[in-house]
Amino acid sequence: MSVRDRIESTLREALSPQRLEVVDESHLHAGHAGSRPGGETHFRVRVVSDAFSGVSRINRHRRVNALLAGELAGQVHALAIDARSPDEPGRP
């Protein structure tokens, strides 16, 4: 299973999101610190979940980072997070 698939599976299981997008942006960082020839080092996560209702932005990020701690300790070098509740306007 790819890193991207593991990230998606972990977040789906833990957050039951209404919307989830996991984008591998590793190609944008080729040659930079943390990049590897095989990619799967830099990701962007956009997630909408009821689990984030009434939760501050920093605590949403902490929760996502905690859920993905294993990936972040391994191959993943960078993770950009956009975590929202369904009642919030804007993207994702």
Write down how long the chain is: 92
Domain CATH for 15? 3.30.300.90
pLDDT (tens digit, 9 = 90+) per residue, 65-90? Answer: 999 999 999 888 899 999 999 998 76
Q: How many domains does the chain have?
A: 1
Q: Is residue 21 part of a domain?
A: yes
Query: Residue 25's pLDDT band (boundaries 50, 70, 90)?
Result: confident
What is the per-residue pLDDT across 28-73, written as a single tens digit (0 to 9) for each?
655 555 555 556 788 999 999 999 999 999 999 999 999 999 999 9
Residues spanned by the domain of 60: 3-84
Express the helix, strand and coil content of the chain in percent, nearest 5 each. Answer: 40, 20, 40
Residue 81 in 3-state DSSP?
strand
